[in-house]
């Protein structure tokens, strides 16, 4: 095959040359909500986004308009926020697909 997919307007599929497989992109968004026992944060939440396109970065967007971009790992920040916020697994969104150029 020529590697061109007519369904995507002639875009070429990007292959991982080591595995000879199509490269895959992945993004996930998870909502963290304030715990009920923290009255100062009542009703507040933020969304945490991870993407393979920016694998070393984590993005967090609060419902109050704040934005945090963290390099490497957001785990340190989540550990500190863990006393006040908890992940809401029911609102987790994930998407993935093949990469095209």
DSSP 16-55: ETTTTEE-EEEEEEEEEEE-TT-GGGTT-EEEEEEEGGGT
pLDDT tens readout for residues 74-86: 778 888 888 888 8
Say how many CA atoms lie within 13 Å of 66 toward its Cβ: 7
3-class DSSP assignment, residue 4 = strand
pLDDT surpassing 90 at residue 13: no
pLDDT tens readout for residues 16-65: 777 777 888 899 999 998 888 877 788 888 999 989 888 888 899 988 88
């Amino acid at each position: 095959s020529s590697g061109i997919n007519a369904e995507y307007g002639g875009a070429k599929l990007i292959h991982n040359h080591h595995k000879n497989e199509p490269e895959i992109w992945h993004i996930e968004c998870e909502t963290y909500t304030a715990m009920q026992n923290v009255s100062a944060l009542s009703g507040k939440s933020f969304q945490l986004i991870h993407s393979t396109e920016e694998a070393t970065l984590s993005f967090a967007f609060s419902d109050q308009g704040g934005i945090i971009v963290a390099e490497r790992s957001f785990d340190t920040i989540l550990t500190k926020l863990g006393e006040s916020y908890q992940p809401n697994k029911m609102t987790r969104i994930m998407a993935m697909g093949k990469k095209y150029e």
